[in-house]
Amino acid sequence: MSDDLRRLAELFLVARRPVAFTGAGVSTESGIPDFRSPGGLWDRFDPREFTYQNFIGSEGGRRRYWELGRVTYPVIRAARPSAAHLALAELHRLDRLDCCITQNIDDLHQRAGLPPDKVIELHGNATRTRCLECGAAYTRDEVHAWLETRDEVPACRKCGGVVKPTTVLFGEPMPAPALQEAERRARAADLFVVLGSSLVVYPAAYMPAHARHAGATLAIVNLEPTPLDAQAELVIREKAGVAMAAVVEEVRVSARRDEPLGQRAAP
């Protein structure tokens, strides 16, 4: 184990409110492509077509969105939690994680074992949908089955209204409750660990800045430089899964040795 990874494990051991912040780099390790990278989905589809305004404004806009969904959702559904997802779930079981704030929409944190109330999804969740008129909820599996059996734009089975995934589209406001809770938890954290995020998508990328300004130790695990590297006390150029698997093993060994783990305060 490198000195930096050992240091990150020590930070988790002594922190009272450690918070993780995950980005696309965590999900790419599960086989979910990064849309923005060369050869990614935005090389095949024009992101300007997939705005919230286009979705709610016309049936043609919705049809185009669901054409994209037919391509992307099976990839998300087939993905399995990565080593980073599993490590965060284990840190929760060891009482070493206050919550996980995520930019990802794939539900993999929950599938890895993190309780839903410990996952704050800033950009929504691709596995759930709802009717914009009556609020009826449908799983994405249900809606995907409609798409596979009928060549039509999904409509609510109760009222005929527009059915939309709970993901945040371009031009759509982020869910205020999630944004407010993420900011509250970031400001209350004493350790804030960024995993696999370039920190260029706002307002999500404000979260580590909120934590740092409130006095938290900021650690960044990312393969590429980020705009906040200079503010971080620890920067690790490594894959999130590799780093967190090593960190959680060190934390687990320390817990077995009954070393002091610190006292956690209520969030």
- Please give the positions annotated as active site: 123
Encoded tokens for 200: 């260029």
Q: Judge whether 124 and 105 are in contact, CB under 8 Å.
A: yes
Long-range contacts of 227-232 (CB under 8 A, 24+ apart): 227/199, 227/200, 228/194, 228/199, 232/194
Closest alpha carbon to 176 in 203, 152, 158, 206: 203
C-alpha span between 196 and 187 (Å, rounded): 21
Q: Judge whether 101 and 24 are in contact, CB under 8 Å.
A: no
Alpha helices in 58-167 (DSSP H): 59-78, 83-93, 108-112, 140-149
Size of the chain in residues: 267
Tell how strand 128-131 and strand 163-165 pair up. antiparallel
Beta partners for residue 221, in sequence order: 195, 236
Three-state secondary-structure class, residue 20: strand
